Amino acid sequence: MSLTVAQIQAAKPISKPVKLFDERGLYLEVVPAGGKWWRFKYRFAGKEKRISLGIYPDVGLKEARDKRDDARKQVAAGIDPGEARKAAKIAIIEKTENTVETVAREWFNKYSPSWAYSHSSKIIQRLERDVFPWIGSRPIREVKAPELLSVLRRIEERGAIETAHRALQNCGQFFRYAVVTGRADHDLSAALRGALPPVKEKHHASITEPKAIGALMRAIDGYQGSFVTKCALKLAPLVFVRAGELRKAEWPEVNLEQAEWRIPAMRMKKNAPHIVPLATQAVAILHELQPFTGKGRFVFPGACNRDRPMSDNTVLSALRRLGYAKTEMTGHGFRSMASTLLNEQGWHRDAIERQLAHAERDAIRAAYNYAEHLPERRKMMQAWADYLDKLKAGAEIISLQSSRAA
């Protein structure tokens, strides 16, 4: 016998659930708290199952019967209504929650705390500028390779080939994260390998001819600008760190008695701590600078705000004032200068690479081996500083190898 509206309205809750049966698997469950729930009971693959069809009176008797009939049709067609409902919910989540931007930000938030700020900020800015506006709202599972390629083509068309390659690399990282977390089927970036034109190799302008190096050292000594900038210029060839690492140097990192500068991992490009042995010449420069900036945080504070490091263009601008064009010398060029000559003069290649803080393929090994070859590196840094002094003095060009032998 089928239910009536009067029976439904008259049903009152008691201390345990009460079931009021309609027809063909439909019944109303009255729970002790007072709610009235429509249920549909069915058998599928030999098992008894049930699903909810809504709450009375939000779902009336006729609508409940219609929903039951739809569910029965699914069973007759070999479809489990409960599993179909779960699949529909997953599809909604895929469209509204598992978008490209949502997954990419989740990946970024998970891994970026272990990256240097300069590195992580570039990645998120690249994604926000070049990827999210075009496919950020798309369900990540539905994105196809041609869509991602069109995003990269936009970057390529403005001439930023290297940025397009880096964007592809970042997309590959969060697509792989989506795969392992069950929200994508494959890494689309793999299908686009070779789709972008190759990046033209760029070399930072650098001076590597000994006589020209001597002239550069003399020009730096004669710099007429800010004393702080002059000290940064003088220190740059002696430590040959990256430009950002030099300008952000902090006094607590520097130990003049032990003649060493320890840069924390968070400020290094590859997120591993780095030791810079200081030659006596470097220590002398820092001793001279300390009365001017030593009471603050930064070794080389900004000209307008001493609570911030000097501008990233300060050293570059100083080189331009000395007459060196961007095609001749850059702040990064001091690294190329040291690398070229130290290798030519026979120093241990691993010691040079470690002093340049070039990346370890194994991140764990890099974190533990930042002091690797340190005795050799101390000798090398002092010999390098002495060599630069001789070039500056205009002495006969000698090799670092012969300096070591002496």
Q: Which of 144, 158, 368, 404 is catalytic?
A: 368
Element holding 130 (H helix, E strand): helix 117-130
Q: Where are the alpha helices (DSSP H) in 145-201?
A: 145-157, 161-180, 188-191
Q: Which of 234, 335, 377, 392 is catalytic?
A: 335
DSSP for residue 241:
-
Distance in angstroms (rounded) separating the CA atoms of residues 209 and 396: 13
Distance in angstroms (rounded) separating the CA atoms of residues 229 and 227: 5
User: 243-246 — which CB contacts under 8 Å span 24+ positions?
Assistant: 243/312, 243/315, 243/316, 243/331, 243/332, 244/118, 244/312, 245/274, 246/300, 246/315, 246/331
Q: Which of 24, 138, 154, 269 is catalytic?
A: 269
Q: Is the peptide bond before 57 cis (omega within 30 degrees of 0)?
A: yes
Check: CB of residue 350 under 8 Å from CB of residue 373: yes
Q: Where are the alpha helices (DSSP H) in 243-332?
A: 243-247, 280-293, 314-321
The question of whether 332 is a catalytic residue gets the answer yes
Q: Which of 242, 274, 377, 392 is catalytic?
A: 242
Supply 13's token pair.
């809750």
The question of whether 122 is a catalytic residue gets the answer no
The question of whether 377 is a catalytic residue gets the answer no
Distance in angstroms (rounded) separating the CA atoms of residues 194 and 366: 31
Q: Helix axis angle, 210-221 relative to 227-239, nearest 10°? A: 150
The question of whether 269 is a catalytic residue gets the answer yes
Q: What is the edge-to-edge ordering of all strands in the sheet holding 47-56?
A: 18-21, 26-30, 36-44, 47-56
Helix or strand or coil: residue 396?
coil
Q: Which of 19, 86, 326, 358 is catalytic?
A: 358
Q: Which of 332, 377, 378, 392 is catalytic?
A: 332
The question of whether 358 is a catalytic residue gets the answer yes
The question of whether 242 is a catalytic residue gets the answer yes
Query: Active-site residue numbers?
Result: 242, 269, 332, 335, 358, 368
